[in-house]
Amino acid sequence: MEIREFRTEDAIEASSIIKECFQKLDIGGHTTAGIQREIDHNSSENLTMGAEQIRYFVAVDNNKVIGICGYDQQKVRTLFVNIKYHKLGIGKKLLNTVLSEAKKEGLTSLITWSTMFAEGFYSLAGFQKIQNIVIPPDNADIVLIEMVKQL
């Protein structure tokens, strides 16, 4: 398994991983409409467009994308690992790559908007809860946990 920079051709596999995670895991805090909204937001087209602003990395095993994570100047973005590869340290390796690269760029902290499912993972990585975030604010289709880590 290797971690490398995201390429445009990775977008379809990465988007499929994200979709499967939202459909099969108990993410918590998301209505059915909220899950669909997240799936649509993480389409292959949106990941490709996002890569213009977000520095993504992918975990690859036998030429197959099995995870994705990225960051921008403020935030960890889009950390997902193929369900078949959970609990093998791949998410941790992706996150550590992102944190290391952000630190090299001179960033002093990063936030993340964690799902309830991933809150414990981020806590173990040193992120601290700031607040809950509700999207959209008027009907709570998505509830996330805003967390921060000093680099």
Position 19 pLDDT exceeds 90: yes
Q: Using an 8 Å Cβ cutoff, are 90 and 58 in contact?
A: no
- Confidence at residue 39, expressed as pLDDT on a 0 to 100 scale: 97
Position 107 pLDDT exceeds 90: yes
- Confidence at residue 46, expressed as pLDDT on a 0 to 100 scale: 97
Its domain, for residue 100, covers 2-107
- Confidence at residue 136, expressed as pLDDT on a 0 to 100 scale: 86
Summarised one tens digit per residue, pLDDT across range 129-144 is 999 999 988 878 999 9
Q: Is 61 part of any domain?
A: yes
Q: Is 142 part of any domain?
A: no
CA angle (150 as vertex; 100, 126 as ends), nearest 5: 85
Q: Is 56 part of any domain?
A: yes
What secondary structure letter does DSSP report for 81? E
Inter-axis angle of helices 11-24 and 32-41, to 10 degrees?
170
Q: Using an 8 Å Cβ cutoff, are 8 and 72 in contact?
A: no
Q: Is 117 part of any domain?
A: no
Q: Mean pLDDT over residues 104-118, rounded? A: 97
Q: How many domains does the chain have?
A: 1
CATH number of the domain enclosing 84:
3.40.630.30
Q: Which residues are CB-neighbours of 104 under 8 A, at least 6 positions away?
A: none
Q: Is 70 part of any domain?
A: yes
Q: Is 38 part of any domain?
A: yes
